[in-house]
Amino acid sequence: MRKVMIGTIEVIIVIGMLAVLGFGQSAPAARAATVTAILDNTSDRSVLIWTSDSRPQTLADVAKFRVNPGSKKRMVVNLGANGQVKFTASAGPPPDKSSVVGRILGSCVWQREPNAPPRTPYIVFNGSGLTCGSTGQ
């Protein structure tokens, strides 16, 4: 009986030490960085523009991602751990509604510069493709 009690106490001490030292605990999740991108449609047709982690899933989502001809729109986007975000443009749902995004018209990758002053992604659809640039300080 005495050996069982001593063994139990030893186990409790070891578990307590592990808890204090942080063993067995996962590291806190890194906060995702966000930035507000400016989407500029200089073409004469309406397009959908989205990012890799946030794309239209249903027909109800289409309005959220639509950028009308000759207009600009702001969109808060999540940056990857490497400071990148990929933007994609599409024609939107075809008349038969067989796809939510429709035909892909172009894509580009915006990269945050780690030692540069803060910049804002400036994404332009010009009718023939998508261009990633920056604006800011």
Instruction: Tell me which residues of the chain have a pLDDT lower than 70.
Output: 1-2, 4-32, 137
Backbone angles phi, psi at 12, to 5 degrees: -65, -40
Distances (CA, A) of 110 to 11, 18, 74, 84, 124: 52, 43, 15, 6, 12
Which pLDDT does position 24 carry in this prediction? 47
Which pLDDT does position 106 carry in this prediction? 96
What's the CATH number for 34-136?
2.60.40
Q: CB of 86 within 8 A of CB of 51?
A: yes
Each residue's pLDDT tens digit, 67-90: 999 999 999 999 888 999 999 999
Which pLDDT does position 12 carry in this prediction? 65
Which pLDDT does position 15 carry in this prediction? 64
In order, the DSSP letters of 7-36 are HHHHHHHHHHHHHHHTTTPPPPPPPPPEEE
Tokens of 136: 């800011």
pTM (2 d.p.) = 0.74
